[in-house]
């Protein structure tokens, strides 16, 4: 017997087999929990119905993509060169720091989130400066302030639109290909919705004609953008709903095919095969798929509703009309397809188990 440290070398075929085993192990470890759960459900359902089901959920039917940025971007008005520089700012001290900030090297490349904060601060500053201007102020100064104020006021709609629906952080929430929400994980939707509600508050403010003040949370708005970017709830929910809808449709096809064959319970009484199917219903559908469906349903309704409330406050939401109809609405094609797949799946389970007297009562 050779020493422990002198085993014979592996043959090429053995080496290949070991590599395949390692690859399979790594694939199992990296698979998303929700996809693994839904694929297992399809596997169990296929065995119980004696139907062939494609269990591989890595390839899903296409869905609408978020429109390219060039189709969403709104042009922002710029002050004509020298207009601010020639102002006599002794009556507008609060503008000095803002002008210096904008003229700095960092100010010229602001991300849209910081640009939003800057524009809101500048607008309220120039508005208050006009209001507080002494009656004996020069007509030229008053005219300059009016011109800047009107331009900044007209600009707010475009600035807000770009800050919310052209921000990379928001775009990340509509991306395709993110891992789906995991079972029993609401995706941290609470802080995400809180941020969207603050965006909505800002969108409402810019349409008011009174002397509104900047909200206290404005200086921390960057945190809401960070949460959107790090969490990516929207993209993970979208992946989860597409995955679930496809699972329900494939499972329904198998249940339908089984119903169209010989009766599972010809005499209306349970059979061994019916008991197997019943166990799949209780353990894997009611025990795993339904809770995941409820999670996606509840969190999705909240996500879509808050998006609708934000979009309703923005002047250019029509730029997303096709995407809203396809994805980003409680009445979208994506949501309708899911609800239709859910109803069909439930009805087919009721028909199949009802034939055998095995359908659980609602009481």
**Phi, psi of 220, rounded to the nearest 5 degrees:** -105, 15
Q: Is the pLDDT of residue 47 over 50?
A: yes
Q: Is 216 helix (H, G, I), strand (E, B) or coil?
A: helix
Which range (53-62, 240-249, 259-268) has the least confidence?
Answer: 259-268
Query: How far apart are the C-alpha atoms of 206 and 315, rounded to whole Å?
Result: 11
pLDDT in tens, 157-187: 999 999 999 999 999 999 999 999 999 888 8
Q: Given the structure tokens 């470890």, which residue do they identify?
A: 29
Mean pLDDT across the chain, nearest whole number?
87
Q: Is 57 helix (H, G, I), strand (E, B) or coil?
A: coil
Q: Is the pLDDT of residue 209 over 90?
A: no
Q: Is the pLDDT of residue 91 over 70?
A: no
Q: Is the pLDDT of residue 101 over 80?
A: no
With cut-offs at 50, 70 and 90, classify the pLDDT of residue 5. Answer: very low
pLDDT score, position 7:
42
The whole model's pTM is what? 0.86
State the helix-helix crossing angle for 333-354 and 233-260, rounded to 10 degrees.
40
Q: Which residue has the higher pLDDT, 89 or 56?
A: 56
With cut-offs at 50, 70 and 90, classify the pLDDT of residue 93. Answer: low
Residue 216: both structure tokens together: 């206290």
With cut-offs at 50, 70 and 90, classify the pLDDT of residue 71. Answer: very high
Q: Are 316 and 74 in contact (CB under 8 A)?
A: yes
Cα→Cα distances 7→1, 16, 19, Å: 9, 18, 18
For the chain, what percent of residues have pLDDT higher than 70?
85
Q: Is the pLDDT of residue 23 over 70?
A: no
pLDDT score, position 138:
75
pLDDT score, position 109:
72
Which range (121-135, 202-216, 320-334, 343-357) has the least confidence?
Answer: 121-135
Nearest to 180 by CA among 253, 233, 258: 233
Query: How far apart are the C-alpha atoms of 116 and 65, rounded to whole Å?
Result: 26
pLDDT score, position 21:
53
What does the DSSP 8-state code read for residue 177? S
Nearest to 255 by CA among 231, 229, 226, 285: 285
Q: Are 344 and 251 in contact (CB under 8 A)?
A: no
For the chain, what percent of residues have pLDDT higher than 90?
64
């Amino acid at each position: 017997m050779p020493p422990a440290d002198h085993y014979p070398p592996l043959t090429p075929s053995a080496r290949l087999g070991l590599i395949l085993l390692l690859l399979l192990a790594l694939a199992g470890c990296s698979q998303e929990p929700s996809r693994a759960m839904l694929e297992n459900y399809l596997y169990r359902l296929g065995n119980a119905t004696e139907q062939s089901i494609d269990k591989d959920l890595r390839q899903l039917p296409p869905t609408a993509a978020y429109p390219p940025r060039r189709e969403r971007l709104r042009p922002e008005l710029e002050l004509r060169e020298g207009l601010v520089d020639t102002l006599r700012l002794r009556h507008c001290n609060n503008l000095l720091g803002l002008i210096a900030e904008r003229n700095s090297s960092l100010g010229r490349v602001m991300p849209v989130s910081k640009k939003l904060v800057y524009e809101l601060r500048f607008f309220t500053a120039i508005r208050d400066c006009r209001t507080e201007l002494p009656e004996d102020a020069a007509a030229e100064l008053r005219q300059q302030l009016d011109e800047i104020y009107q331009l900044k006021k007209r600009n707010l709609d475009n600035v807000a639109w770009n800050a919310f629906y052209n921000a990379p952080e928001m775009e990340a929430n509509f991306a395709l290909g993110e891992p789906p929400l995991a079972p029993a994980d609401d995706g941290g939707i609470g802080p995400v919705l809180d941020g969207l509600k603050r965006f909505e508050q800002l969108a409402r403010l810019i349409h008011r004609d009174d002397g509104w003040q900047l909200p206290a949370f404005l200086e921390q708005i960057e945190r809401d953008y960070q949460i959107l970017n790090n969490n990516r709830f929207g993209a993970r929910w979208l992946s989860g709903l597409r995955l679930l809808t496809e699972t329900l449709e494939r499972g329904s096809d198998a249940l339908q095919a089984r119903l169209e064959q010989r009766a599972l319970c010809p005499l209306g009484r349970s059979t061994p095969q019916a008991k197997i199917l019943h166990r799949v219903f209780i353990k894997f559908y009611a025990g795993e798929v339904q809770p995941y469906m409820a999670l996606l349903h509840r969190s999705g309704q909240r996500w879509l509703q808050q998006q609708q409330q934000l979009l309703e406050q923005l002047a250019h939401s029509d730029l997303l009309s096709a995407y809203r109809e396809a994805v980003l609405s409680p009445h979208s094609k994506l949501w309708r397809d899911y609800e239709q797949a859910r109803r069909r799946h439930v009805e087919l389970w009721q028909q199949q188990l009802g034939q055998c007297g095995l359908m659980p009562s609602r009481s």
